């Protein structure tokens, strides 16, 4: 099960209702962030998630609205006594960027920050899930991300194993670890494995092949939708997507749900954005700040 918490759903400039881009995903206890715009640490204070449980932060690109909350959050973790190491990932330039801003604003950070510059298809493993990067197409080095929960192996059926003559002891372990024991195969005593869920985050991008490839079969596609379809030309000029382009990608990729973020402040009527999207892909959400979704193999719902 994954929980997606939208900490900031705005675009470029914050508004009364929407903070700068930041999406938290929790799997069991570990939390990762996709982007960390200015004010994300305060949104975390207001939210039910603990900023001390963040294991990794994935920045899509170095525009201020996606990055400028990171230095403050790193310092707040330090001031709050964090000792656990933290993984910070981003495109080319993230390492120098983080180190430069932290050198401008001195603060006590007494934990290790492992800053990784990721390239297309690089992956980072966490306990229970993996995050991989794909190169998208924006007007500076920029990534999107895929979070894929580990598949959960099927449950061992002790009763059935005993009936088939497997003895309690080392043979139980062998068959659970995939070995064949006296003609009994693991498939005969293990339930079917459970589908791990996946969430794809487009980052800021025009529609592109690598995004489509990454989103194939994803449970949830979180896609930027800076513009409405009526401003498709403007979207292209600014290296952004429209709501209907996002919908087309979700449809083509067979995603279960599409969540639109990064909608320009120029659109006051979000029903209009939703309506044009639904015509192409039905299961669309436009999350509000601090809205949370629970994603299981059976269900995707706002909680």
Which residues of this protein are in contact with a copy of itself, per CB under 8 A?
A: 12-16, 19-20, 38-39, 41-42, 45-46, 62-65, 67-69, 71-72, 75-76, 79-80, 93, 96-97, 100-101, 104-107, 140
Residue 56 or 69: which CB sits closer to a copy of itself?
69
Query: How many Å apart are CA 140 and CA 211, to the nearest integer?
Result: 16
Active-site residue, selected from the candidate residues 65, 204, 219, 289: 65
Q: What is the smallest separation between the CB atom of 109 and a copy of itself, expressed in angstroms? A: 11
Residue 56 or 71: which CB sits closer to a copy of itself?
71
Reference 247, options 276, 209, 205, 218; nearest CA is 276
Query: How many Å apart are CA 132 and CA 10, to the nearest integer?
Result: 24
- DSSP annotation string for 249-283: HHHHHT-SEEEEE---TT---HHHHHHHHHTT-S-
Residue 66 or 148: which CB sits closer to a copy of itself?
66
Query: How many Å apart are CA 250 and CA 277, to the nearest integer?
Result: 10
- According to DSSP, the β-strands at 198-201 and 143-149 are antiparallel
Q: For residue 271, indicate whether it is catalytic.
A: no
Instruction: Supply 270's token pair.
Output: 């979000």
Q: What is the smallest separation between the CB atom of 64 and a copy of itself, expressed in angstroms? A: 4
Q: What is the smallest separation between the CB atom of 66 and a copy of itself, expressed in angstroms? A: 9
Reference 255, options 208, 210, 225, 212; nearest CA is 212
Q: What is the smallest separation between the CB atom of 191 and a copy of itself, expressed in angstroms? A: 43
Q: What is the smallest separation between the CB atom of 45 and a copy of itself, expressed in angstroms? A: 5
Query: How many Å apart are CA 114 and CA 133, to the nearest integer?
Result: 16
Which phi and psi (to 5°) does residue 143 adopt?
-125, 155
Residue 68 or 184: which CB sits closer to a copy of itself?
68
Q: Which residues are catalytic?
A: 65
């Amino acid at each position: 099960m994954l929980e997606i918490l939208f900490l900031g759903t705005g675009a470029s400039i914050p508004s009364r209702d929407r903070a700068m881009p930041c999406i938290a995903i929790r799997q069991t206890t570990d939390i990762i962030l996709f982007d960390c715009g200015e004010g994300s640490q305060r949104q975390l204070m207001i939210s039910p998630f603990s900023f001390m449980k963040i294991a990794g932060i994935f920045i899509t690109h170095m525009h201020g609205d996606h990055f400028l909350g990171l230095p403050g959050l790193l310092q707040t973790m330090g001031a709050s006594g964090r000792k656990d190491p933290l993984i910070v990932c981003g495109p080319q330039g993230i390492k120098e960027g983080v180190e430069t801003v932290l050198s401008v604003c001195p603060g006590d950070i007494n934990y290790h920050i492992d800053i990784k510059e990721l390239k297309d298809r690089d992956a980072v493993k966490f306990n229970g899930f993996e995050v991989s990067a794909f190169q998208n197409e924006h007007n500076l080095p920029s990534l999107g991300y895929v979070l894929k929960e580990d598949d959960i192996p099927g449950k061992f059926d002790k009763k059935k194993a005993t009936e088939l003559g497997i003895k309690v002891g080392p043979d139980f372990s062998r068959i659970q670890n995939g070995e064949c024991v006296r003609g009994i195969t693991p498939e005969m005593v293990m339930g079917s494995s459970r589908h791990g869920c996946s969430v794809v985050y487009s980052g800021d991008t025009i529609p592109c092949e690598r995004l489509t490839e990454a989103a194939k079969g994803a449970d949830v596609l979180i896609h930027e939708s800076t513009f409405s379809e009526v401003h498709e030309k403007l979207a292209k000029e600014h290296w952004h997507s429209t709501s209907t382009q996002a919908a087309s990608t979700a449809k083509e990729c067979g995603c279960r749900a599409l969540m639109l973020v990064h909608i320009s402040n120029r659109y006051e009527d979000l029903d209009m954005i939703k309506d044009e999207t639904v015509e192409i892909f039905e299961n669309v959400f436009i999350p509000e700040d601090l809205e949370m979704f629970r994603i299981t193999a059976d269900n995707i719902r706002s909680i």
